[in-house]
């Protein structure tokens, strides 16, 4: 029944396979060769850098966004003008 156990755990994700986990850890130990805290800090930094990068790009783009017209502005303006013309005719 070992396969049943490994199935249940492996369904939490492919990387949860014990052999694979052991292999990943060995490779990372070889690469970093430091204590676990250093790896935690480094990986934590990589993880947190993803949202930070997104926010930075968004803020850097603020000027371009304000300069560029909204795609629907043309249509909205057209609709607004049409309504004004309609009201003018009614009056």
Partner 1 sequence: MQKTEKTKKPIYFGWYVCAATVFIGFVSIGARNSFGVFVIPMSEEFGWSRFTVSIAAALGVFTNGLIQPFMGQLFDRTGGRKLILAGLFALGVSTILLALTFHILFLIFMFGFVASMAQGGPALSNTAALMARWFKRKRATAISINAAALSLGGLIMVPFSMYLLQATSWRIAWVGLGIIVLTSLPLAYFFIRERPEDMGLNPDGDPTPPSNGPAPRARELKGPLEVETWRESFKSAPIWQMAGSYFVCGTTTFVLSVHFIPFAIEDRGISGATAATIFGYMMGLNIIGALGAGLLSDKLRGTKNWLALVYLMRGFAYVCLLTIDSVAGLWIFATIAGFSWVATLPLTSSLTADVYGIRALGTISGITFMFHQFGGFGSVLLAGLLFDITGSYVLPFSIVAVLLFPAAISAYSINERKYSVRYQTPVTTAAAGD
Q: Quick one: CA dihedral 38, 39, 44, 47, positive or negative?
A: positive
What separation, in Å, do the N-terminal and C-terminal C-alpha atoms of the chain show? Answer: 85
Task: Give min distance, CB of 18 to partner 1, in A.
Answer: 7
**What residue spans of the chain are helical by DSSP H?**
2-10, 18-32, 36-60, 62-67, 73-90
Q: Which of 41, 6, 3 is CA-nearest to residue 21?
A: 6
Q: Catalog residues that contact partner 1 under the rule CB under 8 A.
A: 1, 3-26, 28, 35-37, 39-40, 43-44, 46-48, 50-51, 54-55, 57-58, 61, 64-65, 67-68, 70-76, 78
Task: Give min distance, CB of 47 to partner 1, in A.
Answer: 6
For tokens 């043309």, the residue is 74
Nearer to partner 1, 46 or 91 (CB): 46
Nearer to partner 1, 37 or 90 (CB): 37
Nearer to partner 1, 18 or 83 (CB): 18
Task: Give min distance, CB of 35 to partner 1, in A.
Answer: 7
């Amino acid at each position: 029944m070992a396969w049943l156990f490994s199935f249940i755990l492996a369904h939490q994700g492919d990387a949860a396979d014990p052999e694979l986990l052991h292999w990943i850890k060995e490779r990372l130990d070889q690469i970093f060769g430091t204590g676990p805290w250093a790896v935690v800090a480094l990986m934590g930094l990589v993880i947190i850098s993803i949202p930070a990068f997104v926010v930075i790009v968004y803020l850097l783009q603020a000027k371009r966004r304000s300069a560029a017209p909204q795609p629907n502005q043309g249509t909205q303006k057209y609709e607004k003008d049409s309504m004004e013309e309609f009201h003018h005719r009614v009056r």
